Structure 1
C-alpha cells in the first residue's frame, strides 16, 4: 500500500496487525527517520528493538525474515529497524522480497531508505503488497513547513502569526524535527498549554530562536568533519557550559552529511568545484570545500550510518547523552585529521 508521508503513522497505528513492513523513502532523510521514530513509538517502551544495516544482509538475504520470525530471549514482542543509505536499497531488495514472500508474518519491520525513489521495482512491489506500507518523504517547502509549524504550535497552546511560523521554518531549514524542538522550547518558556494559550511575538523568537543554536552546533560538527581537533575541543568546552540539544545536533549533522554526500557524488562524476559551490550557502562554502577534500563517498556513507546508530544509542544507552556525542565527535575528528 502506498500512502502519503503525513498519513503513514495514522494508517499503521490504526491497524498495526495488518502490516508486516513499513518503508520510508525519498530525498528527505530526516523526515524518513522522524516518521520511523513515530511509527515505533508505541512499541519502544515494551518491545525488544533489533537494528540492522546492509552489512547484515549482504551475505545472508534470509537474515531479515529470520530476525522477524525469531523469538525474543525473554519471549517479548520484537520489532526490526533496517537503515539503508543511498543506493543500498537495491542491494537489500532480495532480503525485502524474501520477507514479503514468507508465509509466516513475524514481528514488524521498519525500513529507512532515504534516497530510494518510489518508482523502482521494489517500491512498486511494496505498493502492491496488502501487508506492506510505503511512503515517500519529499523535501519540505517553506510554505508547507510554516503550515505544519502553525499546527504544532496550536496543539501546544501557542498563538503565532504566519510570519513567526515562516521565521521558525527558515531558522530550522524546514526540518520538522528541529522545528518541533523549537516549539517545545517556546512552550516551556511561556508555560503555555491548550488550556492556557500564550502568544508568541518576535521578541521571544529572537531570545529563544534556533539561529544561534544552529550556528553553535555547526561549529561542533564542522570542526570534527574538518579534522580540527583543537577547535573541536574548544567548542565542546563552550557548549558544555550552556548545554545543547544532542538530537538537534544529530539532525543538523545528518542534513549536512547528506548534502556532502550529494556533492561528493557529483564531484566523483567530474563536476567542477566552482559549479558545486553554487548550490552551497555562502557561510558553508569553506567547510564544504575542505570536507570534500577529506571524505570519500564510501566514508561519508559510513559516517551517516554511524550518526544514525548514535541516535539509537542516545535513546537506549544508560550513559549521559553528552558523553556519547562527545566520543563520536572525537572519533570523527581523529579520522578526518589523518585524512587531511
Structure 2
C-alpha cells in the first residue's frame, strides 16, 4: 500500500500488527534512515534489531520471513532492518508477505530503486506492506527539518540560521542532528530551557563545514593530488566534523566531469560547457585535464564507491570517517598521473 510521509511516520511510531514490511525507496537515504529510526524508537530501548544484508537474502530468500516469525532470545520486542536493498531482495520480500505468520516488522531501505521496480510494485499491491518514495527534500523543506531538530534540542533559531546549518551539512539529517546537538550543548539549551541561536554561536562552535575546503578536497581527489587530499582529510579528522558533506562534494565533482565528457564526446565546445556549468576560469585547466583522463567507466565506478562509503559512514557500527579517508585516498592514488 502506498503511504505519504505522515502516514508512514505514524505507522512506524506505532507499527500496525497487519503490516509486515515497510519499504522506503528512492534517493533520499538520509530521510529513509531517519524514518527507520522512528521504528527503532517505537520498539523500545531494549528491543533487538536484526540487520540483514541484501547479499544474505539473495542467497537465502527465506531468511527474512524466518526472522520475522522468530521470537527474541530474551522474549522482548524485535525488528528487522535491511539497508542498501534492491531488486535482489524481491524473492525474500515475496516470501515474507506470503508467510503464514510474522511477528517482527521489517523495514527495507532501497535507495537505488525507482517507482517501476518489481519490489516497489509488490509492496504497493500488498495489504501487508507500506511503501514510501523518499526524494531529496527542497531547500524550504530542509530548512524546516533543521528548525524542527533545533526546537527538539531547545534552540530558537534566528533568521537565516536554519539555512546555514542545512547548507553546511549538505542537507543530511544525520549531520544536521549532530551539529545541532553540539550547539545545544554549547549553549546549555534544552526543551525546558530554550536558548536563542545566532551567527556568533554558530561560528564559535564551528558548525560550518567549510564549502571551500570540501571543494578543494574534491578537486584534489579527481586530479590525483594525493598529498593535498591527505592534508585536507587530516584537517577534517582533527575538527571532528563529518566526512559526508565532503563525500557529496566529491560526488558532485565526478558528476560534473561526467557531464563535461558527454558534452565533449558529442562534439560540443568544452569552453562553452565550462560557462554553462559555471566552472571558474582558475579551475578550467585542471577540470579539462580530468575530463580527458577520466573514462565514463572510471567515473561510474568512482561514484559507486563514494556512495557506498557514504552509506557505510552513516550506518550504525561502521568504522565511520576512517572509511572515507581510506576510500577517497585510494581514488586519488588511482587518479594520479602516471
TM-score interval for Structure 1 and Structure 2 normalised by the shorter chain: 0.7 to 0.9
> 1:241-285 deviations in whole A, cap 9, x for unaligned?
4x313xx32365257548857975996897777759956886998
Between the aligned partners of 1:128 and 1:76, the Cα distance in structure 2 is 31
2:136 to 131, 139, 155: 139
Q: Is contact 2:257-2:287 (8 Å) kept? A: no
Does 1:195 pair with 2:192?
yes
Cα distance change of structure 1 residues 236 and 80 upon mapping to structure 2, 3 Å threshold: same
Q: Is contact 1:12-1:19 (8 Å) kept? A: no
Between the aligned partners of 2:151 and 2:243, the Cα distance in structure 1 is 26
Between the aligned partners of 1:207 and 1:10, the Cα distance in structure 2 is 37
The residue that corresponds to 1:293 in the other structure is 294
The residue that corresponds to 2:23 in the other structure is 23
Between the aligned partners of 1:276 and 1:70, the Cα distance in structure 2 is 58
The residue that corresponds to 2:240 in the other structure is 244
Q: Is contact 1:27-1:114 (8 Å) kept? A: yes
The residue that corresponds to 1:3 in the other structure is 3
The residue that corresponds to 1:14 in the other structure is 14
SS of alignment partner, residue 211 of structure 1: coil
How far apart are 1:289 and its partner, in Å?
Answer: 8.3
Between the aligned partners of 2:132 and 2:283, the Cα distance in structure 1 is 31
Larger Rg: 2
After the TM superposition, which residues 120-199 of structure 1 pair with which residues of structure 2 at under 5 Å, given as runs?
Answer: 120-199=117-196
Q: Name which structure has the greater RCO, CA cutoff 8 Å, separation 6+.
A: 1
Between the aligned partners of 2:283 and 2:135, the Cα distance in structure 1 is 23
Does 1:253 pair with 2:243?
no
How far apart are 1:147 and its partner, in Å?
Answer: 2.4
Cα distance change of structure 1 residues 275 and 51 upon mapping to structure 2, 3 Å threshold: farther
After the TM superposition, which residues 285-324 of structure 1 pair with which residues of structure 2 at under 5 Å, given as runs?
Answer: 290=290, 293=294, 295-298=298-301, 300-312=303-315, 315-316=316-317
The residue that corresponds to 2:53 in the other structure is 52
> 1:226-252 deviations in whole A, cap 9, x for unaligned?
6543224323433444x313xx32365
Unpaired runs of 5+ residues, structure 1, are: none
